[in-house]
Amino acid sequence: KAGVTQTPRYLIKTRGQQVTLSCSPISGHRSVSWYQQTPGQGLQFLFEYFSETQRNKGNFPGRFSGRQFSNSRSEMNVSTLELGDSALYLCASSHRGATYEQYFGPGTRLTVT
């Protein structure tokens, strides 16, 4: 069974721009979570989607948004990029939202200049 895939793997953007990252969960998984990983803050929860509904959101500004499609694929969007948004963005999927069995993708490395 294929794992979680994320595209693109690397991205360089300029301050003020916006970016969209994509995540395809493991086949059959309906829950998708997004995390931001930085050296200073570690892994921080962004939001979680299940059956196209956002069930929980972390403490991030409204510039961070996401959505999930009927095929469980998910996208996250960051508008008006800031230098501090440079991070590894990780997507994780699970079968029914069981946090104890989340499987992560390789991440998208976003650099904001």
Binding site for another protein (CB under 8 A): 4, 33, 35, 42-45, 48, 50, 55-56, 58, 90, 97-107, 109
Strand-pair category, 108-112 with 10-13: parallel
Peptide bond into 25 cis (omega under 30): no
Smallest separation, CB 39 to another protein (Å): 10
What residues contact residue 7 under an 8 Å CB cut-off, 6+ apart?
21, 22, 108
Please report how close the Cβ of residue 83 comes to another protein at its closest, in angstroms: 21
> Which residue, 41 or 113, is less far from another protein as judged by CB?
41
Q: Please say which residue, 18 or 41, places its beta carbon nearer to another protein.
A: 41
Nearer to another protein by Cβ, of 14 and 59: the residue is 59
Largest distance between two CA atoms of the chain:
39
